[in-house]
Structure 1
Amino acid sequence: MKNIALLGSTGSIGTQTLDVVSHLEDFFKIRSLAAGKNIALLSEQAEKFSPEKISVADEEDAKILRKKFLDIKIFSGEEGLCKLASDDDVDIVVNAVVGAAGLMPSLCAIKNGKRLCTANKESLVMAGELLTSLARKTGAEIFPIDSEHSALWQAMLSGEKSEIKRLILTASGGPFFQKNVDLKKITPQDALKHPNWSMGKKITIDSATMMNKTLEIIEAHWLFNIPPEKIDVLIHPQSIVHSIVEFVDGSQIAQMSIPDMRLPIQYALTYPRRYSSSVGTLELWRNAKLEFFKPDTEKFPALKLAYRVLKLGGTAPAILNAANEVAVSAFLEEKIAFNHIFNIVESAIEDVKPEPADSIEKILTANEVAKKYAVEKIMSVEQG
């Protein structure tokens, strides 16, 4: 029986992780739960899974929960996340926290040699070199639980790393790939209508701008130690082929399944074993076609930013991530237009000077500087 600390339990990945744990209840126990502000759902989860510890974003919410759950230790804030991630009785930390807030608990989990199953790609985007280097020292495992990197991971097991020619990340293209739309007129409601996946708001907007794939290129680079020039992207609207690994002999190994996040979540939890899952079976005969297209970087220029910031190095990826988080939030609040998201991120990369990413302090400073820059840029857009 493995004990799990689930961070971000009330979000899309968090609730699906609990589905997986319920299906595999003989193998896993929820030791702790962490959430943001949805304490109503968190309370329901606590009643069902009986964790020993809980953490929430705000101390005021923690006070409410302490009155309700007398036998559970309640924490709050970043400190609470790190307490759960570094708990000696926890074997697996699932990081489903959204955005840069997931960085410190990732660091705490890795420092303490945990298996980190992460949907928080921002941690690796911001501090990939630092986190992977630390994991090698502590013996921690970093396993992806997003569909594309899980697919790459599974396909890479077909050969030696030296035999890999390139990684091919697939992308659905989001809701606007096959539509002629005026990007200036896209509303948050339009952008949140993903054709294939059920995800949180932030990642759904990232999918619509293709910024999600930008983050995934950076994540793949650090997860698998593959040079950026060997990482490509293909648009695959059906989201059946989740990614492909091409080997030097010309063979391409793809991982396929119906689009269901519970599958990569379960694989990361149970690796190296596989168990029966509650995910439906892919019947290829029901899928009339599997299509693939080269990405249009004129329509979706965000893709080019991945290679640009990796070339710049240092804190440049953290600057990109911070500016994007602020811009996406502003778009969801209808403060800026859809096309302004890319413009703000690109401006931040051009104007905020990257520093060496050799400490967590420098990375966090870059995050704050880039956020402040993006906020000021948004204010100028609003006033203009």
Structure 2
Amino acid sequence: MNHDPVPLPPDLYGRGRDDRFLRFLDAVTRFYLPIATRKDRYGRRVFPPPPAALDLVVAARATEAEDVVSLRLSAPDGRPLPPWQPGAHLDLVLPSGLRRQYSLCGDPADRRSYRIAVRRLPDGGGGSVEVHDTLLTGTRVAGGGPRNAFPFAADPAVLLIAGGIGITPILAMAREAAGRGLDWRLVHTGRSRASMPFADELTALGGDRVELLPDDEHGTPDGAELLRRAPAGSAVYVCGPAPMLDSVRGAFDACAATALHFERFSAAPIVDGRPFDLRLRSSGRVLPVPADRSALDVLRENDPDTPYSCRQGFCGVCRRRVTSGAVEHRDRKLTDQERAEGQMLVCVSRAPEGECLELDG
């Protein structure tokens, strides 16, 4: 293959030399293209480092529904915050040290603040209760991101489906769809109208494009019923509890839509799990991990302060080092080098049946 430089076209004004602008553009491209596409010694693309940690303050707080509060977070000095796109989430380090992720539900055009909404779950992992009880107006909190594992592609025709607090990323997508003039519609389900946040905001945004389906008025819809609203050739975006996601996924092949995007806010069900053991190197204690539970679940029973966040294998908060044993990696975060070094994300990764993984620490 010939790798010689391609001659630049002649000057646009007919002079006997290369065009100056294209010569300048060629020089810039030759300088920056290798930087933008460079790879490390393992052949992986090298991407810019993640954004620095954020120092945030709770600028405003509001009750949006039963057991749901929204927080508006700003930089203490008022400086613009990093940009984000619909579907993105924010990492928060709560005063106790717990790390949690919350979808951004504000306006991406507003660079002065982020908005999140959190439902209080008394029997959850403790993060939502802490947000409700301690993050009052004026409270400082550390953050990271934003990051996006649920990007909105702005398809020409879109059906947005949200269950309960799953409306948070979907609301930002609806705002984007309306701003772009897309053919969009939104269905929001919940236990009751009183439990469904942002109902008035949604109705004001989309009018009859928005449909609210409280369970106590309409019953609990299944996936096929929800997907009947999808235009032919459309893309479906859904966020909500696991039963809703499973029902939508099961009915998707029979609907008129052609693409399905989803995000769950609880751990994904374990598929093809096998029982194995964990040995804690510091104490020598052996913890059995059943086929239907994750290593994280078992570790948290032993130590409730075990760090975690996404429970889906992409944030890296639950990373542990394995000093012996074979790991079945099921995450979307660790590199080949990190896996070779013995790192493991205990929220999703496992071991072969009967294997014992020894964890450092």
Shorter-chain-normalised TM-score: which range? 0.3 to 0.5
Higher relative contact order (CA 8 A, sep 6+): 1
Name the one with the larger strand percent.
2
Name the one with the larger helix percent.
1
